Amino acid sequence: MSENNFNRRDWLKISGAGLGLLGGVLAAPGVSSAGMIQSLRLYRSLQQGRELDPSAGLSLIMIGTGTPIPSLDRACAATLIIAGDYTVLVDIGRGSLIRLAQAGVLRPDLLLFTHFHSDHISDFGELMTMRAVSGADAPLPIIGPPGARKVVDGILEAFSMDKRYRVEHHGEAFNGAGMEVSVTESQPSVVHDQGGLKITMFEVDHRPVEPAVGYKFEYKGKSIVVSGDTIKVPIMTEMAQGCDILVHEAMNKQLVEMGADKMGARMKKMSRDMCEHHTSHTEVAEIARDAGAKKLVLTHMVPDPMNWVMEYLFTRGMHQIYKKKIIVGKDLMEVKA
């Protein structure tokens, strides 16, 4: 059973006090009621959590679909897999904690890392703090490639003074046990096989970043494959054979080149370097076609297709290769397998 749903009686007491406070603030001059209403909705989602159905099938929520370049509309890399009432978060990049709150799943049951670029790990410390705030009392299981323990320990060390401050301030109300972890470093293999959910880690190629992995999720006859960051590799087609959803990073290298020509020498070099270790949009279409994937969801898109015109330009040429559904991923988008 997932621990995402908090004790509602306790939260009701907190919410009552919070509503009274918010009512007073709304009545204050110069305060935007629309902004406060939006804050109230987020506040409620934090307390209530998402209702998860143990009998449900396999689905996902695109938590973060962005890149290291800051965006108001896209958090950095994070994908939430939901198998019945069990939740698995793949990566936790900058801004993804906000999106998890909006999705109503602040306490995923399992965290997976694909690799250790900052845009895939940077909200980890904040996630652990929020677990303690919300009363989690069991260690968070974490699985990743070699290096996961070093990264996790380093981030928790960076947050250790903050943890001490909060324990001294709040006492037992701040559950420091919620910031405990259980880290497993794995080689490509089946890394989880419980409750009907099978998760397979496989190696990808994001050099000079090593190791880098993707994951395949299988549950109740359905499957989802999450690529992580990578160039086109044969194993992606193999792992995605017949999958219901392929979530794949994508770069439109022609658009990147057009933009690079307008940059200075330093940024031009970095843009062209970036093209060497990501998968082009047409290569992603080829992978989905050759694997027979039923749906293709694009994420970690460069450049950011920030409107329908850019979406058209970004995906141009893909539909001629892959004839099934192509979904341009957006934060908080939900897709069922």
CATH assignment of the domain containing 98: 3.60.15.10
- Looking at the structure, tell me whether residues 104 and 230 fall in a common domain: yes
- Looking at the structure, tell me whether residues 27 and 118 fall in a common domain: no
- Looking at the structure, tell me whether residues 6 and 92 fall in a common domain: no
Lookup: tokens for 167: 């324990």
Given 17, 34, 49, which residue is the final one in a domain? 49
Q: What is the pLDDT of residues 94-149, one digit of tens each?
A: 999 999 999 999 999 999 999 999 999 999 999 999 998 888 889 999 999 999 99
- Looking at the structure, tell me whether residues 309 and 170 fall in a common domain: yes
Q: What is the pLDDT of residue 46?
A: 55
Query: What length does the chain have?
Result: 337
The pTM (predicted TM-score) of the whole model is: 0.84
Angstrom distance (rounded) from CA 133 to CA 152: 19
Catalytic residue among 85, 119, 229, 331: 119
Give the residue numbers spanning the domain of 21: 1-49
Domain count along the chain: 2
- Looking at the structure, tell me whether residues 59 and 38 fall in a common domain: no
132 contact partners, CB below 8 Å, separation of at least 6: 163, 166, 174, 175, 176, 177, 178, 179
- Looking at the structure, tell me whether residues 81 and 31 fall in a common domain: no
- Looking at the structure, tell me whether residues 33 and 61 fall in a common domain: no
Q: What is the pLDDT of residues 189-242, one digit of tens each?
A: 999 999 999 999 999 989 888 899 999 999 999 999 999 999 999 999 999 999
Is 273 a residue of the active site? no
